[in-house]
């Protein structure tokens, strides 16, 4: 790295700016590169956030009310008070349950037995039967959890209104900070923002590989442009393009998905610039080992995109297994996921996220130094 410092110090500002202008012109004139740098992150944020969202939407409920009392009717009304649970059928016989589930007309069948009200007012327990479609275990589990929460809320209201014991031996008053509704999209969108911002880095690698494929890199060899000016100029141009796409994706996260943004705008922009610097530094390093665009795309997707979904803490926490943990912390995406969620949901700033920012900055510096050391202005 020390050998690279004189190279950086001897850069010509005029030649560096010329390279940046040339790259920005290339980005705007190449439709594919322009899409990857500016449009692809926002497009992927919208599509993939919905793909990986784990929230259950509307739940269709069929009810068989055998008790037919004011209390059972009050419970059904409280269950369907909003759009989460929708009553789609009232059943008269038990034989009607299975056909509804087979057709997919109901996600949940609620059976309120005779004596429900009497048992509740006598101290309980007042039992109900809940039948769900278990073919989708994730949806079924969330449906049961939502129903249990509604039951708990109804019992709490009943205790407050009537001062009766309905058989609840223990009540836990819980609260989720930063995402009180526990909607997965609120957590997923900031994390997904970190993943999709690897698209500008992919565009940079493809641009470098294409210059080798088309032979335009040979023309650069004959110019006075130094390798430092060439690489730093390219990196700066794509960081500028990446920041533009980040602003678009950021706007979509807040306005389309209604994800709260509790942090500082300047803090987020600064941290995002550091992440882009790190990811593009790795892209520059990768580009030294590839000679065509297909290989470049494969390597960048294998390094950034695919591992980020499963190892970087996007869907599940970072693994405690040593090898998986080492791979996760080597990914720039892991640290930017923590940054995005910290800034969006917790309102953290640079001071609280200095560790992640330092790792990203170090990754960028080391990668850029490695790229400078490997790049030679000659045909190999």
Task: List, for residues 73-103, the tens digit of each pLDDT value.
Answer: 888 888 888 777 888 888 888 888 888 877 7
Domain edge (last residue) among 162, 192, 214: 162
Domain edge (last residue) among 133, 162, 191: 162
Q: Is residue 198 located within the same domain as residue 154?
A: no
Report the pLDDT value the prediction gives residue 340, as an integer from 0 to 100: 93
pLDDT band, residue 171 (cuts 50/70/90): very low
Number of compact structural domains in the chain: 2
Rg, the chain, Cα only: 28
Nearest to 116 by CA among 65, 169, 165, 153: 65
pLDDT tens track for 109-150: 888 888 878 877 776 677 788 888 665 555 677 777 788 888
Instruction: Identify which of 5-14, 220-229, 250-259 has the greatest average pLDDT.
Output: 250-259
Q: Is residue 63 located within the same domain as residue 136?
A: yes
Q: How far does CA 148 lie from the centroid of its chain?
A: 28
> Residue 85 is part of which domain span?
59-162
**Within-domain flag for 170:** no
Q: Is residue 206 located within the same domain as residue 142?
A: no
Report the pLDDT value the prediction gives residue 168, as an integer from 0 to 100: 39
**Within-domain flag for 235:** yes
Q: How far does CA 134 lie from the centroid of its chain?
A: 27
Report the pLDDT value the prediction gives residue 4, as an integer from 0 to 100: 55
Q: Is residue 74 located within the same domain as residue 193?
A: no
More confident residue, 165 or 343: 343
Q: Is residue 195 located within the same domain as residue 339?
A: yes
Query: Structure pTM?
Result: 0.72
**Within-domain flag for 82:** yes
Q: Is the dihedral of CA 111, 162, 159, 178 positive or negative?
A: positive
Q: Is residue 33 located within the same domain as residue 73?
A: no
Residues 267 and 352 sit within 8 Å (Cβ to Cβ): no
Domain edge (last residue) among 95, 128, 162: 162
**Within-domain flag for 178:** no
Q: Is residue 282 located within the same domain as residue 301?
A: yes
pLDDT tens track for 49-69: 776 666 666 788 888 888 888
Q: Is residue 110 located within the same domain as residue 201?
A: no
Q: Is residue 248 located within the same domain as residue 117?
A: no
Q: Is residue 328 located within the same domain as residue 253?
A: yes
Report the pLDDT value the prediction gives residue 81, as an integer from 0 to 100: 80
**Within-domain flag for 318:** yes
CATH number at residue 151: 3.40.1710.10
The lowest-confidence range among 173-182, 222-231, 254-263, 327-336 is 173-182
**Within-domain flag for 292:** yes
Alpha-carbon distance 23 to 204, whole Å?
10
Cα angle value 208/206/365 (rounded, 5°):
60
Residue 302 dihedral angles phi and psi, to the nearest 5°:
-70, -30
Cβ neighbours for 139, distance < 8 A, ≥ 6 positions apart: 56, 107, 133
**Within-domain flag for 176:** no
The share of the chain scoring above pLDDT 90, in percent, equals: 18
Q: Is residue 281 located within the same domain as residue 262?
A: yes
Longest dimension (CA), the chain: 93
Report the pLDDT value the prediction gives residue 170, as an integer from 0 to 100: 34
Q: Is residue 198 located within the same domain as residue 157?
A: no
**Within-domain flag for 169:** no
């Amino acid at each position: 790295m020390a050998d690279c410092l004189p190279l950086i110090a001897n850069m010509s500002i005029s030649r560096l700016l010329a390279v940046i202008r040339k790259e920005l012109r290339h980005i705007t004139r190449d439709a594919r590169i322009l899409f990857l740098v500016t449009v692809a992150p926002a497009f992927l944020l919208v599509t993939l956030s919905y793909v990986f969202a784990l929230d259950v939407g509307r739940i269709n409920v069929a009810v068989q009310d055998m008790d037919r009392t004011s209390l059972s009717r009050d419970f059904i009304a409280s269950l369907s008070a909003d759009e989460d649970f929708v009553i789609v059928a009232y059943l008269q016989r038990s034989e009607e349950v299975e056909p509804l589930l087979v057709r997919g007309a109901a996600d949940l069948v609620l059976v309120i037995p005779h004596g429900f009200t009497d048992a509740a007012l006598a101290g309980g327990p007042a039992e109900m039967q809940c039948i769900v479609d278990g073919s989708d275990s994730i949806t079924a589990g969330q449906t049961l959890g939502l129903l249990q929460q509604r039951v708990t809320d109804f019992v709490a209201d009943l205790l407050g209104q009537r001062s009766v014991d309905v058989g609840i031996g223990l009540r836990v008053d819980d609260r989720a900070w930063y995402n009180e509704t526990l909607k997965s999209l609120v957590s997923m969108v900031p994390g997904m923002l970190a993943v999709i911002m690897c698209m500008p880095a992919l565009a940079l690698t493809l641009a470098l590989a294409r210059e080798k494929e088309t032979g335009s890199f040979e023309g650069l060899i004959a110019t006075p442009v130094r390798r430092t000016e060439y690489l730093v100029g390219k990196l700066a141009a794509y960081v500028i393009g990446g920041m533009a796409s980040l602003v678009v994706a950021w706007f979509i996260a807040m306005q389309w998905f209604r994800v709260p943004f509790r942090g500082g705008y300047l803090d987020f922009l600064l941290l995002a610039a550091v992440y882009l610097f790190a990811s593009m530094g790795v892209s520059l390093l990768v580009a030294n080992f590839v000679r065509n665009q297909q290989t470049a795309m494969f390597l960048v997707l294998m390094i950034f995109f695919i591992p980020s979904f499963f190892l970087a803490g996007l869907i599940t926490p970072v693994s405690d297994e040593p090898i998986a943990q080492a791979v996760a912390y080597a990914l720039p995406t892991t640290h930017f996921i923590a940054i995005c969620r910290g800034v969006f949901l917790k309102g953290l700033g640079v001071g609280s996220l200095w560790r992640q920012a330092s790792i990203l900055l170090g990754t960028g510096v080391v990668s850029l130094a490695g790229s400078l050391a490997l790049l030679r202005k000659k045909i190999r």
